[in-house]
Amino acid sequence: MILIGMMATGKSAIGTLLAEELGYEMVDLDAEIVRHEGRSIPEIFAENGEVYFRTSESDRLREVLERDRVIVATGGGAVLAAANANLMKEKGIVVALSATAEEIIARVAGDRNRPLLAGNAEENVRRILEERKDAYSFAHCTVDTTGLTEDEVCQRILTHYRVLAFKHV
């Protein structure tokens, strides 16, 4: 299963819960990039820029999608390259998470690990949401996480997943 969605919709947090529930391995694409590069996401952006980060992200995505029984929590921009989105659709069940701008802004308050939000986080969240308004719609299903606890989101995804996995075989 592959989780996509805007920053702070809960992909990394919910991926961990889903992996426990399903007995799958949790793979966080950002963590794979950090491990491979030996430096943090803000450092990669600052030292080599976004284009370099996106190349590294696509390379790691291709690797992790070769594994079985994994939950892959992607970064919010991993879907922007059409080749990545196509590969996700081909390799697994794609679940999109969403949340309102207000909820995302509240969740990222004080977080310094997302370079694209540096400066005016509120303005940046609203702009990126607009830029990406159709970017996540290729998913097999979407769960709006606004006002739900992480456990509630996890249970909703599992309900969708059981139906989708049944059809997928």
Ligand X SMILES: O=C(O)C1=C[C@@H](OP(=O)(O)O)[C@@H](O)[C@H](O)C1
- Binding partner selected for residue 92 from ligand ADP, Mg ion, ligand X, none, CB under the kind-specific 5 to 8 Å limit: none
Segment near ligand ADP (CB under 6 A); pick from 5-13, 47-55, 115-123, 126-134: 5-13
Sheet holding 141-144, edge to edge: 25-28, 70-73, 2-5, 94-98, 141-144
What tokens does 108 get? 């990222």
Segment near ligand ADP (CB under 6 A); pick from 43-51, 58-66, 84-92, 143-151: 143-151
Contacting ligand ADP within 93-112 (CB under 6 A): 107
Minimum separation from the CB atom of position 143 to ligand X (A): 15
Site string for ligand ADP, 26-65 (x = CB under 6 A): ----------------------------------------
CB-based closest residue to ligand X: 75
Distances (CA, A) of 143 to 3, 32, 136, 152: 10, 25, 11, 10
Q: Does the protein bind Mg ion through residue 16 (CB under 5 A)? A: no
Element at 50 (helix H, strand E): helix 41-64
Closest among 3, 1, 30, 32 to 111, alpha carbons compared: 30
Closest among 163, 147, 145, 140 to 17, alpha carbons compared: 145
| Among 79, 116, 135, 154, contact with ligand X (rule: CB under 6 A) | 116
How far apart (Å, rounded) are the C-alpha atoms in residues 58 and 62?
Answer: 6
What tokens does 23 get? 């007995």
* Cβ–Cβ under 8 Å, residues 25 and 69: yes
| Among 10, 15, 77, 92, contact with ligand X (rule: CB under 6 A) | 77
Q: How many CB atoms lie within 10 A of CB 108?
A: 18
Question: How many residues bind to ligand ADP according to rule CB under 6 A?
Answer: 15
Whether 167 has a binding-site annotation, put simply, is no
Binding-site residues for Mg(2+), in ranges, read 12
Binding site for ligand X (CB under 6 A): 7, 11-12, 30, 41, 75-77, 114-116
